[in-house]
Amino acid sequence: SNIKLDYSKAYPFFDSGELGKLCDEVIYHHEKLHVNCKKESAANCLGWVHQPLRIDLDEINQINRASQKVKSDSDILIVIGIGGSYLGGRAAIEALQHSFHNNLSQEKRSAPKIFFVGNNLSPTYTADLIDLLHEKDFSINVISKSGTTLEPAIAFRIFRNLLEKKYGKQMASKRIYITTDDTSSPLNSIASTEGYKTFIMPANIGGRYSIFTAAALFPMAVSGICIQDIVTGAITARNELKSPKIAENPAYQYAAIRNILYRKGKTIEILVAYEPSFKYLTEWWKQLFAESEGKDKKGVFPTTAIYSTDLHSLGQYVQEGRRDLFETTIKVVSMQRDIIIEKTSCNQDKLDYLSGETMNYINDKAFSGVVLAHSNGGVPNIVVQIPKMDAYNFGYLVYFFQLSCAMSGFLMGVDPFDQPGVEAYKKNMFISLERPEYTNANMI
């Protein structure tokens, strides 16, 4: 497998017998997952299992053609969406493109700048983004499976208005790209009335499992990522991670270990990366696991950290605070870029012991020092290792986490594909905003 799961630093906290005890349960859930996902019903929400295979060349070509149009007529793409409908695309763009892709000069950037909005209700954020559009050509991509989520709906109203004022209704309509469900979403009917280019989010794939659909692939393509490589990575993962046996399937090992640790009181998991550009990959993971597993008063609480940055904030707690944590680290064997520490003539800063070493080498030493110190301090450590971070490996890793998450939810005894708890705050908000349908409802 492309992924190597190293749990040697989690082993002191459990033994192989405990893993062995979960084997039959894992096989049972694996078979259920693979039988049920063949059923086409929307309700089963298992379309993601085969999605990398289902997406055909025609759809990839359509996404690429639309992205070419955006590249040719826009300085900026505004991506509107929240939760699972936007985190996958953002995760890929941040992890795979230049760390400062929006700040590169025109000559060094072959793609439009990409900004995300509709993922909060802040007028400051939204107004500040509008400031950037002054005298710029832009297009918008609205991603909302339901087509009814308030945050993206408000942003769509605002940015559509700006587009129509700038280009006129007719020309603006050629700059609006909608990604939504084609059965029940009101966005779908708006798009067909107004003639907007539309991509479909399959009904049997939930938002947080939608990364291999146009929801994430279209913004990725606009940013210049090879989406075929993303999909190929996912297809390989699907083929390589198909054994029902824990011993042969690292995705199920990860799911089983986090469940064993949870049962031993390790109820908080920190997903760690040593690359700031993986921030949104870790955010995507957080959303995937939180919404899939946190229900029925159960679930590992997923949180994230970027080291070494957060070693200077969370590090103290992780080393010596409450012992209810475990860490999972995404480790990349070979990073594309590196910097050599040069020798100076006077060693004024006393760093000459590092002369000739690379920053990747030093980052790696930080990683091994942390894993040892934290595990010796009572924090089990799991390492998810990938050979490098490119589109192919990104697709592979994301599929690995999706499969692990589904299995982890099953082992936890919850439905990993619903999110009933997200509705509670919405209900209270709509009642206080006096939304007509909520006139007689009571606050939760």
For ligand PA5, the binding residues (CB under 6 A) are: 82-85, 144-146, 149, 152, 206-208, 291, 419
Tokens of 342: 């040069």
Least Å distance, CB 88 to ligand PA5, is: 9
Spatial neighbors of 178 by CB under 8 A, at least 6 apart, are 141, 142, 187, 188, 190, 191, 196, 197, 198, 199
User: Nearer to ligand PA5 by C-beta: 112 or 152?
Assistant: 152
Least Å distance, CB 426 to ligand PA5, is: 9
Other Cβ atoms closer than 10 A to 247: 12
User: Nearer to ligand PA5 by C-beta: 288 or 382?
Assistant: 288
* Nearest CA among 338, 310, 335 for reference residue 325: 310
Least Å distance, CB 208 to ligand PA5, is: 3
Tokens of 322: 């409450």
What distance in Å separates the CA atoms of residue 191 and residue 198, rounded to the nearest whole number? 7
Cis peptide before 308 (omega within 30 of 0): yes
Phi, psi of 10 (to 5 degrees): -110, -20
What distance in Å separates the CA atoms of residue 367 and residue 329, rounded to the nearest whole number? 9
Least Å distance, CB 56 to ligand PA5, is: 23
What distance in Å separates the CA atoms of residue 410 and residue 76, rounded to the nearest whole number? 42
What distance in Å separates the CA atoms of residue 336 and residue 333, rounded to the nearest whole number? 10
User: Nearer to ligand PA5 by C-beta: 14 or 218?
Assistant: 218
Q: Which residue has the tokens 């297809």?
A: 235
The residue from 94, 291, 293, 327 that is catalytic is 291
The beta-strand segments (E) located in 370-412 are 381-386
Least Å distance, CB 91 to ligand PA5, is: 13
Say if CB 182 and CB 200 are below 8 A apart.
yes
Alpha-helical runs (H) found in 195-343: 214-223, 227-240, 250-263, 279-293, 315-320
User: Nearer to ligand PA5 by C-beta: 51 or 360?
Assistant: 51
User: Nearer to ligand PA5 by C-beta: 208 or 266?
Assistant: 208
The residue from 69, 71, 166, 426 that is catalytic is 426
426 is catalytic: yes
User: Nearer to ligand PA5 by C-beta: 88 or 378?
Assistant: 88
User: Nearer to ligand PA5 by C-beta: 186 or 321?
Assistant: 186
Tokens of 126: 């939204």
What distance in Å separates the CA atoms of residue 16 and residue 61, rounded to the nearest whole number? 47
Least Å distance, CB 152 to ligand PA5, is: 6
User: Nearer to ligand PA5 by C-beta: 117 or 318?
Assistant: 117
Region for residue 441 given its phi and psi (left: phi exceeds 0; alpha: psi -120 to 50; beta: otherwise):
beta
Alpha-helical runs (H) found in 14-83: 16-21, 23-36, 51-54, 57-73
What distance in Å separates the CA atoms of residue 120 and residue 286, rounded to the nearest whole number? 17
Least Å distance, CB 183 to ligand PA5, is: 12
DSSP 137: -
Q: Annotated catalytic sites, by residue?
A: 291, 426
